[in-house]
Amino acid sequence: MKVLSKPSEYGLRALMFLVTKGEGKGYVNIREMAEELDISFHFLTKILQSLTQAGFLVSSRGPNGGISFARNPQQISLLDVLYVLEGQDFLSKCLLGLPGCGDFAPCPMHNSWAVMRVQLRNLFEHTNLSEVGQSVQLERLRLSP
Amino acid sequence: MKVLSKPSEYGLRALMFLVTKGEGKGYVNIREMAEELDISFHFLTKILQSLTQAGFLVSSRGPNGGISFARNPQQISLLDVLYVLEGQDFLSKCLLGLPGCGDFAPCPMHNSWAVMRVQLRNLFEHTNLSEVGQSVQLERLRLSP
DNA sequence: CAGTATTAAGAGTATTTTATCTTAAATTAA
DNA sequence: TTAATTTAAGATAAAATACTCTTAATACTG
């Protein structure tokens, strides 16, 4: 079961990293983040660019540049982030991939799946970046030891 | 959010089809199934082969051959099927894709994600092929009208 | 037994996703 | 000004997933 795409996984990990590592500091260097998280610099850059364009982050060029939260990470839910990285139809697709499926033409799984989707939505909506970022030990976000 | 792979989607749709279409009949022709469900015959064949090998279906060659349930579809849960089509680690992966994540080295999402996984598991475990197959109108399983 | 419909297996192709690399422009600090 | 750093766009490559095609073996029907 692949809930999140790689860009989403990487994006969330980077944002959690930014919560703890970015405290006090001004901007956090992207190259450094990429190394600490074992993510390709260029790949991570693209992901973070989309989060900057979406208004979650602010960036600064030049020496001591990098990224930083545009608003309090407490006010950014995982759902906000995933809508950007996964697309707006994240959480609204038919389990069986049937195009016409919906409340008025439900597939056999539609109703019970709708219940799950609400729960998933609640989880992502009520989890903010600050809480997940604070609770994590940074080495946990790495891919290799 | 891609919960199921295409082979799983197709496999489940085919099994639901088999529940309604296969009642009374002996074997159901795979070529006919493929046409009714808008799935490539060869692709569907492979998926059904793995379900036959897993013991859910029996097949017969020659004229009037095809597939049929090896046991009552009431006794086959979606989870049984998905374990075969998605692999045994279906439902046990870290949301953030972190390799070491587990109860003893949890990632920031591990605990809340574990709760969701249990719910997903319950849904799939307590839904059997018979009930979803019976409740469906066949045209709902098609991709195009 | 002969013909044929079907399963079965695997090679091969296409598409999508993920990842890398290159180049250049813009911005900032010292 | 110079060096460091991000932004941006796009070419390319690698890997995973999805799909198709070919061939062979099997087993049923008449």
- The pLDDT-based confidence of B93 (bands split at 50, 70, 90) is very high
What is the predicted pLDDT for the residue at A99?
A: 83
| Domain topology for B6-138 | Arc Repressor Mutant, subunit A (1.10.10)
What does the alpha-carbon distance between residue B17 and residue B2 come to, in Å, rounded to a whole number? 22
Instruction: Give residue-wise pLDDT tens across range A73-82.
Output: 999 999 999 9
Flag whether residue A63 sits within 8 Å of chain B, measured between CB atoms. no
Q: Say yes or no: Cβ of A60 under 7 A from any atom of strand D.
A: yes
Task: Identify the residue whose tokens are 């946990």.
Answer: A140
Helices and strands: H and E segment counts in chain B = 6, 2
pTM of the model: 0.92
Of all nucleotides, the one whose C1′ comes closest to residue B46's CA is: C8
Query: Looking at this protein, which amino acid is placed at residue B88?
Result: Q
Burial class (CB in 10 A: 0-12, 13-18, 19+), A26: exposed
Instruction: Give residue-wise pLDDT tens across range A110-141.
Output: 999 999 999 999 999 999 999 998 776 666 66
Q: Give me the residue spans of the domains in chain A.
A: 6-138
Task: Identify the residue whose tokens are 């009714």.
Answer: B36
What does the alpha-carbon distance between residue B74 and residue B130 come to, in Å, rounded to a whole number? 5
**Mean pLDDT over the full length of chain A:** 88
B97-119: average pLDDT? 91
**Which B residues in the span 82-111 are in contact with A, Cβ-Cβ below 8 Å?**
86, 90-91, 93, 95-101, 105-109
